Structure 1
Amino acid sequence: MASQTAAVARGVISASAQDARVSALGLYRAWSRQIPFIIELFRLDKTEEECRAKLKEKFLINKNVQDVRQIDMLVIKGKMELEETLKVWKQTTHVMRFFEDPQTNMNPPKPFMDKFLDGR
């Protein structure tokens, strides 16, 4: 109990890596359970399988994170995202942005001034 109180005082929600793993898996299950409702709520043109695959992909991005504080922060952010989505504080475009390929935004278009100075 004392070690758990000390951990909370440092800003860590989970007392151990195992606790952080359990909370991350709980978040994954919560998102997974809400997928049919989110599809219906936002009238998405995605199937449940596509949504679950994207959810799994997003979680696997952070699979190598070992720091308990980072895991806790990611879980907190994930819970906030889920709450914002379920309370419809997001619009359909925000939810669809979840499905965008991050590689498409790697080369943003050049601003006008850069083009101008390049001589175009």
Structure 2
Amino acid sequence: MAASKALNITRQVKPLVSTTPLDARVRVLSLYKAWYRHIPYMCKDFDIPPSVEDCRNVLRSSFKKNSHLKDIRVIDMLVIKGQQDLKEVAEHWKQPNHIMARWFSGENVKERPKDFISKFLAGHE
């Protein structure tokens, strides 16, 4: 008897911003457009080595990396963080090294060794 009542109880979670998946999609696309439009200004103002096309390719890949997400709360959280990053870049609260480390750090970083012999030969152990 108690087990059947427990199965019928579901927890309602309060949404952060979006109430429907369509609303979350609109927010994601508007954030993407805002970043896409600001990239030329960012490259010019911060005088970073990558070109506008390189920055746009990194932007596209970072959005595609999270395209599998279905939870509206997680999507809203990532959109809020993306808006915060955009505001920090637009207001020049970030420096060029912050932008380069955030966007382009994964390209030139070598993977650390995992087994004992490789760690020993690399000087980590």
Normalising by the smaller structure, the TM-score range is: 0.7 to 0.9
Correspondence for 2:106 among 84, 93, 101 = 101
Change (3 A) 1:70 1:40: same
Q: Distance in 1 between matches of 2:24 and 2:111?
A: 31
CA contact (8 A) 2:21 2:72 kept: yes
Match of 2:48 in 1: 44
* Stretch moving more, 42-51 or 95-104: 95-104
What is the aligned counterpart of 2:66 among 38, 62, 65?
62
Q: Which residue in 1 is equivalent to 2:29?
A: 25
In structure 2, the gaps of 5 or more residues are: 1-11, 114-119
Distance in 2 between residues matched to 1:105 and 1:58, nearest whole Å:
20
Q: Which runs of 5+ in 1 are unaligned?
A: 1-6, 109-114
Question: SS at the partner of 1:41?
Answer: helix
Change (3 A) 1:80 1:104: same
Q: CA RMSD in A?
A: 2.4
User: Which letter does structure 2 place at the counterpart of 1:24?
Assistant: V
Map of 1:106-117 to 2, 5 A cutoff?
106-107=111-112
What letter corresponds to residue 45 of structure 2 in structure 1? L
Q: Counterpart of 2:9?
A: none
Please give the TM-score of this superposition, normalised by the length of structure 1: 0.78
Q: How many residues align?
A: 105
Partner of 2:78: 74
Moved >2 Å (runs of 4+): 102-108
